[in-house]
Structures are given as C-alpha cells and as structure tokens.
Chains A and B, each alone.
Chain A
Amino acid sequence: MIGRRVQFELATWVAGPALAAFERAKRARRGERSTSQGSPFGPPLESTRRLKELMTTHYLAGRYADGAVPVAWVTSGFPVEILRPLGFHAVYPENHAALCGVQRVVPELSDAIEREGYSRDLCSYARADIGSLTTGKTPVGRLPRPDLLCCCTNICQTVLYWYRTLAAHFRVPLFVLDTPYVYGEAPEHHRQYVRDQLDELVSMAERVAGARITAEELAAVIGVAREGTRLWGQCLEQSRARPAPWTGFDGFFHIAPIVTLRGTEPCNAYYRMLRDELTDRVARGIGGIRNERHRLLWDNLPIWFEVRALSTLLAERGFNFVCTSYTNAWAEAGSKIDPADPLGSAVDAYTHIILNQDLPNRLDVLRRLSRDYSVDGAVLHSDRSCKPYSIGQIDLRQRLARELGFGVLLLEADHGDPRAYSPEQAEGRFAAFMESFS
C-alpha cells in the first residue's frame, strides 16, 4: 500500500510532468507547428502545452492509483465534489472514450464487443469503454481498477446499463444517482428524492474510502468546483469578442479539466492561465482563425475523430464556431453549487443540466448563446450515439431558423464511431451551407 502510494505520488508530481515535457520535446524535434504559413488558424494557444501536461499527468497517475487511493469511475454529470474530500481518484470513462474517438480506435474496440453480442446501435462511448475493458487496449496505458462506480442518469439512460455492466465486470459497488427529467422547474418532491440519494452517496463513499467527510472539507471542494466552473465560463465568454480568440473546436479539447478534474486546484490554476491568455488575445485582436468572417454555433457533442478536419474546412473559408452548447453546459451546471449548502445546491446543479431539461429550455439556451455570441448561423450535430442530445433537433432547427433568421444545418454523424459518418456527404452539406452565406 505504501509502495503503491509512493508510485502514485511520483507519477503525479514527477513522472507525469516529465513525460509531458518529453512528449513536447519530441513534437518540437519533429518540427510540428500547427500554424505554418498559409494555415487558416491563428497562433496556437500557449496554454495547450499545460493542458497536455495536466491530462498526461492525470492519466499517468491513474495507472498507479488503485491500491494507493480509493478509485471511482464516474459519469460526466456526477457530483464528483462529494468524492473529492475522501481522496478518490476519479476516472471518467466518457473522457477516455473521447480520447479513443480522437485516435480513431473505436471501430476496433467496438468490433471486439460486437462479436460478444453488444449492438452497434449502442452509444459509441459505451462501446469504446467496454471494448477497452474486454481487449485491454487503451490509448492511456492503463485505467485503474475502481473501488466504486458512480453513475447519474442526468445525461442519459445508457449510463445505467453501461455501469451495471462495469459493476458486473469489476464486482464493486455501483451507486446510481437518479435525477428525474425536468419540465420547467424541478418540483420539491423531485429535489427531495435526489437529496435523499446524495445522503446515501455520502455514506456509501465513506464506507468504500474508509474515511469520513467533514463539512468544512466538502464546502471547500464545492467552493473550488464553483470557482473552476466560473473560470471555464470566463474562458468561453472571451469568444463574444470579434474575432473570437480561439475556436469552439479548441474548446472541445480544453474542456477536459472541468470534466475530469472539477473541484481540484490544478483545474482552476489551468483555467486562470487559459483565461488570461484568451483575455490577452482579445486585447491584441488575435483570432482563433486568421480571417473570421462568419460566426457559428455548434450544438451537441463533437465528432471527435473529425474535429481537426472539420475545423480546417471551416476556418479556410473564414467560419468559426464561437460557441457550443456542449462546452457551455460545463459553465452552467456547476455555477449553481454553493459552499453554504453543499448537498442542497448539488441537487439543483446536477438536476438542472441541459440534457436533463425539456426542449423549451434547450431552445432558450441556443437562443441565448446565438445572441450573446452574435452568431450568424448554427450547426446542429444529430449524434447517432447521443439520443437525448439529438432528440428534438428538427424542431429546434426550424424554430431557431425562423426566430433568428439565420441558416441552420442539421448534420448526421456520431461522436465516436467513424463508421456512422460519411465524410463526402458531410463535406458537401458544409460546403453548401457555407456557400449560402456568400
């Protein structure tokens, strides 16, 4: 246990940063430059280096976490703040699956479990993670074995079955936080139902960790998480400026710390650095793309395996996604948490997230983002793997186009599986959409 703890701490404080520095040097030797002459993008963000360091360290430390500290696998919309004071290392299978998506390994992982009977119609995140578990293949070296599984139904119902599969595999306790869908405002009896579950979560997490949560520690973590959310919001808000200092697609990558390290100081330190860099770029008029002519809104998850290609296709013609409902969701949910009432405010925060709220709320968010960021068009990604996010988009498309009087493109794709994406068709739609602006 002590030896394992030493390995974990070394990975966190020494090996992680060293590995990141080595990777950086390797890239520099290869002469990788993302803004060579003729590139449609602005100069690369300096903060990206720190982002890579932070995430490399997180995953490297994770390899040595089991046996050293309690480990929890959690869904993106789970109140992780409650686990932090107990020293849990939190693993985000969704973030891991997104990495698999970026590296285009989802088909291989999915094939392995499709042979066992899992349907290709399941979410590609679930398929990637379960496939990774079955094959042992992962782009991050190794994921630590969990002591506790935590899933919250506020993002989808798939997580319920996905985490039940994980529970059967690892034979560890599973905590399911059930958040009833919100039409308008959550009624009191819904809040009480969620609150009762949070009390149960505290007991269960304490039992697994073999420690107790103090009110002060919990309040402190909640304070850190709220600050992190606020900082992330400030990063995003910089794109209200013309030109936007970064691209919405950059945001898809820089979202990683607020998802996986929410409630920790390194997360907040990172976003302070990013915010300051973005503020400075705004002051100096530096854009995420060189020639920003049109500003777009993106709805739904990214198409992870195609982010670079799509952002280039758009940037070359002067189009930038200046806001996305996905990155925005992480700036909104956590803002409701309050150190003065940690559990009560967590009920509010984790019940009222975009995917757990009705369509009028979705329309409100898109409408508000469109106005705040002065966009002149929107792309709604109809994500084969994320039904809760994609349902209602045909109506949202019509309403947005009618109310705001701009072009809205509905694009069918998938956040992780390239087999559910036709590049030729998608490029054609994007090209026609962009031509309609001229």
Chain B
Amino acid sequence: MSQPSAIGIDVGSSSCKAVVVDRDGALLDCHVEPSHPRVEEQASRVLAKLRALAGVEHLPVGSTGYGRKQVTGARPLTEITCHARGAFKLIARAGVLVDMGGQDTKVVRIGPGGDVADFTMNDKCAAGTGRFLEVILDRLQVKFDDVAALVRLAERAVRVSSTCTVFAESEVISLIAQGEPVEGIVRGLHQALATRVAALVGSDMAGDFFMSGGVALNGAMVEAISASLGRPVQVLPTPQLIGAIGAALSVL
C-alpha cells in the first residue's frame, strides 16, 4: 500500500476539506466538514484527524482557501494555484478550469506544463457563486441533493436576475407569490449563474473545459454551464477536494 506523504487542507468559506496523498499525489484519505469561524482551531483538529487516519505524525502540510494563512505549520498557497495543480494532476494537459466555490468563482487557464497561464474571478460581489445558490435554495426549502432532479422536472426556466443575492432572494419570494413553479425558478437560477460563469470565461473559448469545487457536485449546474458555454464541461473526480489535493501536491 502507498505511504502517506503529504497533507493538503483547503479552508474555504463554506467547507473545510483536507486530504492525505501518497508520494505520487494519489488520494489516500479525506475529510470534509462545514467551515467554522475559528479557523485555526478547526484546522488543528482536522489536521490531527488526518494524521490519525494516515497513521503518521509528521507530514508536510500545504494549505489553501480563505483560511490558508491560519493553518499553523502549513505552506499557504492561493486556490488558483492549488486548483490548477490539483486539476493538472488529473487531466495531465492544458485546459480551462471552472472552479465554483462558496464565495469565489474562478476561471483558470492551465498551460501545457500545469502552470497558471491566466485566471479571472468574480470581484467584490459573490452573486455568481455557490453561496448564491445555497441562499436561494434554502429560501425555497430545496435540499442540495434534490436540485438536479427538480431542474429536470421543470418545463421551462423562470427568469431570475443574478445581480445580487439579497435582491434575488426577494425576487424569488415574489415569483412564488405569483404562482411560478419552484422547479422553473430553480432552473432559472441555474441559468442565471451559468451566464455569469460564461461572462468570466470571456471570448477565449480555446481548450477543453473542466469543473472543480463543491458546486460541481450539482449536475444541473454543470449542465447549465455547459449549455451557456456551448461546449461540454467535464467534472473532475472528487471536485470538492481538488484544491486540497493541489495544496498537498505543492509540499510533496
């Protein structure tokens, strides 16, 4: 069996993801839990858990995500770099990575050598991110696991604005009051978000598209982005862990 060689921890705005990889960067163990405001404490606890899982006390740690600098003893790197490294490990070629996380949506163009050739991300406002979806779905009392099935049920998409999460929430309430079907609203939300992702991608459509981040677990979102871009988008295995894997690869 492969020996544990490094730990990667991705302290995101929604969840904290941690992985143990072997010397080839293959995933051995992982742990995911919702983010806690006391990042340092949570990171120490999660790292202890991972060390116990790995059965090794001393392993190099790479950290990423919003709380990366609060992880004691870790080498901090941004999500851009880590997602690119994690993704390149799996795709082994150039491509365009769409990472939809809790409060960032990033489009990273990965060069043929795994380098970050270019990146764009939402600035100032988190209306086009996972948190947007989370807030509205919560308001509609739709569970994350039921979303894809619900979207498939929709006969048509109800137009929802994506300018502001707070405004969209009240817009959705008024749509419900007008008798619009929930599934149509949810489908409309997905389309609204997908157009924002397409805007981040811009006019340069060269290369194959891949997706990482927790939102990639939502098949309906992947379909909407794919439709908006007009090309297939391949979801990477364990999309939620790509950043943490990239962080671990950086300290191997």
Interface residues in A400-438 (C-beta closer than 8 Å to B) = 401, 407-408, 410, 412, 422, 424-425, 428-429, 431-432, 435-436
Q: How far is the CA of A404 from the CA of B80 in the complex (A)?
A: 22
Q: How far is the CA of A401 from the CA of B109 in the complex (A)?
A: 12
0/1 interface trace, chain B 79-92, chain A, CB 8 Å (1 if under) = 11100000000000
Question: Given the known A-B contacts A394-B202, A401-B118, A407-B118, are A436 and B80 also in contact in the complex, defined by CB atoms under 8 Å?
Answer: yes
Q: How far is the CA of A408 from the CA of B109 in the complex (A)?
A: 13
CB < 8 Å neighbour of B123 from A408, A425, A432: A425
Q: Is the C-beta of B120 less than 8 angstroms from some C-beta in chain A? A: yes
- The reply to whether A425 and B124 form a contact with Cβ atoms under 8 Å apart is yes
Chain B residues with CB below 8 A from A431, complex form: 78
Q: Is the C-beta of A398 less than 8 angstroms from some C-beta in chain B? A: yes
- The reply to whether B124 and A422 form a contact with Cβ atoms under 8 Å apart is yes
Q: Is the C-beta of B148 less than 8 angstroms from some C-beta in chain A? A: no
- The reply to whether B124 and A432 form a contact with Cβ atoms under 8 Å apart is no
Closest chain-B Cβ to A234's Cβ sits at a distance in Å of 35
Interface residues in B50-69 (C-beta closer than 8 Å to A) = 66
Q: How far is the CA of A410 from the CA of B119 in the complex (A)?
A: 10
Q: How far is the CA of A425 from the CA of B77 in the complex (A)?
A: 14
Q: How far is the CA of A407 from the CA of B119 in the complex (A)?
A: 9
- The reply to whether A435 and B78 form a contact with Cβ atoms under 8 Å apart is yes
Q: Is the C-beta of B116 less than 8 angstroms from some C-beta in chain A? A: yes
CB < 8 Å neighbour of A398 from B116, B124, B204: B204
Q: How far is the CA of A410 from the CA of B200 in the complex (A)?
A: 12
Chain A residues with CB below 8 A from B203, complex form: 398
- The reply to whether A410 and B78 form a contact with Cβ atoms under 8 Å apart is no
Q: Is the C-beta of B115 less than 8 angstroms from some C-beta in chain A? A: yes
Q: How far is the CA of A335 from the CA of B66 in the complex (A)?
A: 48
- The reply to whether B115 and A436 form a contact with Cβ atoms under 8 Å apart is yes
Q: Is the C-beta of B121 less than 8 angstroms from some C-beta in chain A? A: yes
Interface residues in A138-186 (C-beta closer than 8 Å to B) = none
Q: How far is the CA of A410 from the CA of B118 in the complex (A)?
A: 11
Chain A residues with CB below 8 A from B123, complex form: 410, 412, 425
Interface residues in A300-358 (C-beta closer than 8 Å to B) = none
Chain B residues with CB below 8 A from A435, complex form: 77-78, 80-81, 116
Interface residues in B90-115 (C-beta closer than 8 Å to A) = 115
Most B CB within 10 A of own CB, among A408, A422, A424, A425? A425
Interface residues in A16-32 (C-beta closer than 8 Å to B) = none
The residue on A at minimum CB distance from B84 is A436
Closest chain-B Cβ to A281's Cβ sits at a distance in Å of 33
Q: How far is the CA of A407 from the CA of B120 in the complex (A)?
A: 11
Chain A residues with CB below 8 A from B118, complex form: 401, 407-408
Closest chain-A Cβ to B65's Cβ sits at a distance in Å of 10
For the complex with contacts A432-B116, A435-B78, A436-B115, 14 further pairs of A-B residues with Cβ separation under 8 Å are A407-B116, A407-B117, A408-B118, A412-B124, A425-B123, A428-B66, A428-B79, A429-B121, A432-B79, A432-B81, A432-B119, A435-B81, A436-B80, A436-B116
- A residues within 8 Å of B by Cβ? 394, 398, 401, 407-408, 410, 412, 422, 424-425, 428-429, 431-432, 435-436
A-B contact pairs, 26 of them (CB 8 A): A394-B202, A398-B202, A398-B203, A407-B116, A408-B118, A410-B120, A410-B123, A412-B123, A412-B124, A422-B124, A424-B66, A425-B123, A425-B124, A428-B66, A428-B78, A431-B78, A432-B78, A432-B80, A432-B81, A432-B119, A435-B77, A435-B81, A436-B80, A436-B115, A436-B116, A436-B119
- B residues within 8 Å of A by Cβ? 66, 77-81, 115-121, 123-124, 202-204
